Structure 1
């Protein structure tokens, strides 16, 4: 079976924001070379997101994608426009 590799373009000011719990973050770390990766658990994101570099587009990541979708909606309602999903 031929391996299907997917490539995606990320602007230079893009980083991954892992919003999983500490346990998930430690058990299954994200390893993507040449990408800045930060960790803030979803339950602290409301208070901590404003402290991140707002020039960066943050790609939210969680295991199943549900929490990242919910957090993206919340952050956009709070006026942040630099939030996308890592799918």
Structure 2
């Protein structure tokens, strides 16, 4: 599993999608705003039921506030055959 920071996201922007795993209430307080990156809002508790909507060939970067759910969900995705999975470490300095 790879870890990405803000600079990595900017470099890979055309090659990945972000999955925001936060609860909708938490996500609405701080929106992820990265130019040229599609953000999918899929709360961690709904990710398993949405796997059929995800392409195993797409590079997904998982985000949650503290990184714990991102790491757990990355393991689940890898177990389900997803190979291009990263965890975002910090978006606090997003532009």
Same fold (TM over 0.5): yes
Shorter chain as normaliser: what TM range? 0.7 to 0.9
Q: Is residue 80 of structure 2 the alignment partner of residue 78 of structure 1?
A: yes
For the aligned residue pairs, the C-alpha RMSD in angstroms reads: 1.5
Query: What TM-score comes out, normalization by structure 2 length?
Result: 0.77
| Aligned residues of 1:19 and 1:61 also touching (Cα < 8 A) | yes
Relative to total residues, which structure has the larger helix share, 1 or 2? 2
Deviation at 1:27, TM superposition (A): 1.0
Q: Any residues of structure 2 matched to 1:1-87 within 5 Å, and which?
A: 7-8=7-8, 9-10=11-12, 12-87=14-89
In 2: Cα distance, 1:41 partner to 1:17 partner:
9
Q: TM-score scaled by structure 1? A: 0.83
* Correspondence for 1:3: none
DSSP-derived class of the 1:26 partner: helix
Gaps of 5+ in 1: 1-5
CA distance in 1, matches of 2:52, 2:85: 12
Q: With CA pairs under 8 Å and 6+ residues apart, which has the higher RCO, 1 or 2?
A: 2
Deviation at 1:45, TM superposition (A): 0.2
Structure 2 stretches lacking a partner, 5+ long: 1-5, 90-95
Alignment length, in residue pairs? 82
Which segment drifts farther, 61-70 or 42-51? 42-51
Partners in 1 of 2:43 and 2:55 — Cα distance? 17
